[in-house]
Amino acid sequence: MTQEAHVTQGPLTTEAGAPVADNQNSETAGAGGPVLVQDQTLLEKLAHFNRERIPERIVHARGAGAYGTFTLTRDVSQWTRAKFLSEVGKQTETFLRFSTVAGNLGSADAVRDPRGFALKFYTEEGNYDLVGNNTPVFFIKDAIKFPDFIHTQKRDPYTGSQEADNVWDFWGLSPESTHQVTWLFGDRGIPATLRHMNGYGSHTYQWNNEAGEVFWVKYHFKTDQGIKNLTTDEANQLSGMDPDSHQRDLRESIERGEFPLWTVQIQVMPAAEAANYRFNPFDLTKVWPHEDYPPIEIGKLELNRNPENIFAEVEQSIFSPAHFVPGIGPSPDKMLQGRLFAYGDAHRYRVGINADHLPVNRPHATDARTNSRDGFLYDGRHKGAKNYEPNSFGGPFQTDRPLWQPTQVTGTTGNTEAPVHAEDNDFVQAGNLYRLMSEDEKARLVDNLAQFISKVSRDDIAERAINNFRQADGDFGKRLDTAVQALRG
């Protein structure tokens, strides 16, 4: 019996498959009397309903996803030995989940927030997940600050709302956030749709080729639809009228056959250049300016198939920055290192120990061959096969070839800041971004920031926040100061 026939045809049944005689009236002791425990249809239905929700993602709870195809358009074998990147024209199935960061599962789409851009490549060497955002940088540069940062974005434990005091207190005291905050309150902070924005891998990753040479790589996904954004007023109105605006737009455009497309580019830094590059190349609050490492086009990403069941395929989808394939690996970026732990841990809590076995999550172009067994909802897929290695029964064996190349380290252990390179400071790239903007863009940026900062209850918190932008650019700080003063009266 096919899955479709199972769920849509024939008599209604209980979970155990027995026919249900009455789905309108529960069984009582006499008409008007109390309900009987022997009405297992009622009890099973209520009990199942109570368990329909799994924990929402602690961040990026609100999202939409679609399947697609990645096509390689350039030979990249000089930089990586990943098989899905081995031949021009080669196609790989993908699944992409977009999300906002701070809002809960039922929150509105059109808000000012970074957008998640989590991409799974179903490759013949296992699933490769690139769990990025629509911004090339991030607010902080050490994973140890992430839970504090997210606490300030989410609901305050006393008021139950997001609080301007918490947001600006943290950003003011974390000057490394200035670049990302300048980006977020600029025009791109509220994309018009999920199709009209770019995606970025954000972190630096390691690529290594057949000869074992190492390259540091950043990924860019440039929208072929063009960038389109909403103003704060447009977004506020849309959020009220149609909280699902982005989710709907994505689904409907794919249903119409208008498949969203992104041009995939990489920036490549030979390993030997990392130590003396003007910025720490593993600092997530910095970009590599294009004049230093020009983007190289390597492929196209198209989304062309909607999921059939949002819960099964979007809510239960899992993406991990630790899902690498041969030829690709992590960099020493301290944020990325923390993320290598956090996601698998979240998946085990949120979806369970066998989350990787679900159709959306399991490899599609190869098989997973592990000796892990059992646990909640284990489906017995390994049948009677031996569950240990090494074994003499033809079981899976180790390859002796690491996915990525080792990196050299020196020094002693300790709670240390990542190394500061010649031109590194918390403000230089935020200032550069501001100075690139047109006069109109600057005006909107200052207004967006001022509207929010003016809600802060304490002058010292507002002043510290403004001072970060002053250090990025004198004119930026002055205009913001004036705008906040005017609003605070």
Instruction: Give the footprint of ligand HEM on this chain (CB under 6 A).
Output: 57-60, 63, 97, 99, 116, 118, 131-133, 138, 143, 146, 202, 284, 317-319, 335, 338-339, 342-343, 346-347, 350
- Cβ proximity to ligand HEM: between 147 and 474 the closer is 147
Q: Are strands 205-208 and 126-133 parallel, antiparallel or unpaired?
A: unpaired
- Cβ proximity to ligand HEM: between 108 and 131 the closer is 131
Q: Peptide bond preceding 390: is omega within 30 degrees of 0, i.e. cis?
A: yes
- Tell me the three state secondary structure of residue 329: strand
Strand partners, 267: 218
- Cβ proximity to ligand HEM: between 97 and 300 the closer is 97
Q: How many CB atoms lie within 10 A of CB 452?
A: 19
CB of 280 to ligand HEM, least distance (A): 16
CB of 318 to ligand HEM, least distance (A): 5
Active site residues: 60, 133
Characterize 97-120 residue by residue with b for buried, 16 or more Cβ atoms within 10 angstroms of its Cβ, and e for exposed: bbbbbbbeeeebbbbbbbbbbbbb
Number of H helices, E strands in the chain: 13, 10
Query: Are the C-beta atoms of residues 299 and 264 closer than 8 Å to each other?
Result: yes
- Cβ proximity to ligand HEM: between 126 and 326 the closer is 126
CB of 109 to ligand HEM, least distance (A): 14
- Write the burial class of residue 374 (CB in 10 Å: 0-12 exposed, 13-18 middle, 19+ buried): exposed
Query: Are the C-beta atoms of residues 61 and 111 closer than 8 Å to each other?
Result: no
The closest alpha carbon to 257, from 223, 299, 300, 305, belongs to 305
The closest alpha carbon to 320, from 341, 351, 350, belongs to 341
- Cβ proximity to ligand HEM: between 336 and 446 the closer is 336
CB of 140 to ligand HEM, least distance (A): 7
- Cβ proximity to ligand HEM: between 131 and 472 the closer is 131
CB of 344 to ligand HEM, least distance (A): 9
- Cβ proximity to ligand HEM: between 118 and 238 the closer is 118
Query: Are the C-beta atoms of residues 352 and 377 closer than 8 Å to each other?
Result: yes
By beta-carbon distance, which residue lies closest to ligand HEM?
A: 116
Q: How many CB atoms lie within 10 A of CB 429?
A: 24
Residue ranges of alpha helices (H) inside 365-458 are: 428-436, 439-453
CB of 86 to ligand HEM, least distance (A): 26
Residue ranges of alpha helices (H) inside 56-177 are: 146-153, 164-173
Distances (CA, A) of 424 to 51, 182, 336, 378, 442: 50, 17, 19, 49, 24
Query: Are the C-beta atoms of residues 202 and 136 closer than 8 Å to each other?
Result: yes
CB of 148 to ligand HEM, least distance (A): 11
CB of 314 to ligand HEM, least distance (A): 8
- Cβ proximity to ligand HEM: between 172 and 199 the closer is 199
Q: How many CB atoms lie within 10 A of CB 343?
A: 18
Query: Are the C-beta atoms of residues 5 and 11 closer than 8 Å to each other?
Result: no
CB of 183 to ligand HEM, least distance (A): 12
- Cβ proximity to ligand HEM: between 347 and 444 the closer is 347
Distances (CA, A) of 64 to 248, 284, 300, 323: 9, 25, 20, 21
The closest alpha carbon to 210, from 321, 365, 79, belongs to 79
Strand partners, 72: 299
